[in-house]
């Protein structure tokens, strides 16, 4: 490895855009299917992995929701989360802010308590054993109704001590953030922070809605902001974080090649861009692989890699003292030539 590759794996970083269901590797799909006596459409692990060829967001979501069928009880969610955290630790991740989609599971009869219980126990275990801190973000599925989201929020109130923020994911086109205005108003009133997927396949108008109607603290994706110079200027001025997922963007044809990605341009414009892995089991790489891919394709400098890591900490929901501690460590890594 070259020095920048070494830096990427070693430098402390946070991961802020990670769907825990999207870390379900094919091997675990088969293990859990066998455990629960579930018949799969694919005969082998290799055949399932071959299905991970997507033309757009919806083609991915079809496979993603089918895979989630094997997650049935609390131990499954614990195993899923623990496996991700081990990988994250190996990639130099010191803090994670994990998305989970309770509606994907409660619609199948899996209790909300089983979902959050398994995820939460693995997070606490990793904090004790690996030193990884965490925040948990409940995401609403935007292709479902606002009423369904409100019902899910109501269920979440009993677990408010474990949930830091609410977000918005799933099919973006045709489901603008404003559809969920009342849900996010209620969430903020209950003390939750808010984030939202916007500007992945949707237009810049969706980013404006996320900012001005949902009151978000971060934009998840946001790469289509570049289509609106005024929006880019606003994002830079407000230091509004974008949780960008490079391998995901290429896999879902948001960009044809990594060399076409706008991450470096946005970074140069002063935006608080971060690098994340989104659904790494499906998109070909966890967070270090995302850093490596974008670094090689866009020829990032050592200081730009360090800036991305620092942005991830700055954009997190950590307390100010914890941010400052990690930022000092990142600065020391960046200074080691």
Active site residues: 200
CA dihedral 129, 133, 136, 137 (to 10 degrees): -140
Q: What whole-number distance in Å separates Cα of residue 160 and Cα of residue 164?
A: 7
Strand partners, 15: 96
For residues 119 and 98, the answer to whether their CB atoms sit within 8 Å is yes
Both structure tokens of 159: 């677990």
**Residues near 72 by Cβ (< 8 Å), separated by ≥ 6?**
32, 36, 110
Both structure tokens of 121: 């126990």
Helix then strand then coil, % of the chain, to nearest 5: 55, 15, 30
H or E segment to which residue 274 belongs: strand 273-275
Q: Spell out where the chain has E strands.
A: 13-19, 93-100, 133-141, 165-169, 193-198, 218-221, 242-244, 273-275
Q: What whole-number distance in Å separates Cα of residue 187 and Cα of residue 180?
A: 11
The 10 Å CB-count burial string (b at 16+, else e) for 228-260 is beebbeebeeeebbbbbbbbbbbbbebbeebee
The whole-angstrom distance between residue 172's C-alpha and the CA centroid of its chain comes to 15
Q: What whole-number distance in Å separates Cα of residue 36 and Cα of residue 320?
A: 44
Angle between helices 302-314 and 3-10 (to 10 degrees): 10
């Amino acid at each position: 490895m070259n020095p920048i590759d070494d830096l990427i794996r070693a430098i402390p970083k946070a991961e802020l855009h990670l769907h825990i269901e999207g870390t379900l590797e094919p091997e675990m799909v088969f293990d859990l299917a066998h455990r629960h006596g579930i018949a799969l459409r694919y005969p082998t692990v290799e055949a399932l992995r071959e299905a991970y060829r997507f033309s757009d967001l919806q083609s991915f979501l079809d496979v993603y929701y089918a895979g989630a069928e094997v997650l049935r009880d609390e131990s499954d969610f614990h195993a899923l989360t623990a496996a991700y955290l081990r990988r994250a630790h190996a990639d130099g991740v010191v803090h994670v802010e994990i998305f989970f989609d309770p509606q994907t599971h409660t619609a199948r009869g899996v209790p909300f308590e089983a979902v959050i219980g398994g995820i939460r126990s693995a997070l606490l275990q990793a904090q004790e054993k690996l030193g990884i801190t965490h925040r948990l973000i409940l995401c609403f599925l935007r292709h479902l109704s606002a009423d369904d989201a409100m019902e899910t929020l109501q269920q979440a109130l009993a677990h408010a001590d474990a949930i830091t923020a609410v977000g918005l994911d799933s099919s973006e086109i045709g489901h603008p953030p404003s559809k969920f205005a009342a849900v996010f108003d209620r969430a903020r009133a209950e003390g939750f922070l808010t984030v939202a997927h916007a500007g992945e396949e949707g237009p810049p108008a969706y980013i404006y809605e996320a900012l001005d109607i949902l009151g978000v603290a971060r934009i998840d994706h946001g790469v289509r902001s570049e289509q609106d110079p005024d929006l880019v200027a606003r994002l830079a001025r407000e230091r509004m974080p974008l949780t960008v997922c490079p391998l995901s963007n290429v896999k879902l044809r948001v960009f044809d090649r990594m060399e076409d990605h706008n991450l470096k341009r946005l970074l140069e414009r002063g935006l608080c861009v971060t690098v994340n892995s989104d659904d790494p089991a499906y998109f070909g790489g966890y967070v270090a692989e995302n850093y490596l891919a974008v670094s090689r394709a866009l020829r990032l400098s050592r200081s730009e890699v360090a800036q991305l890591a620092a942005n991830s900490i700055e954009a997190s929901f950590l307390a100010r003292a914890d941010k400052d501690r990690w930022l000092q460590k990142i600065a020391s890594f960046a200074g080691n030539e």
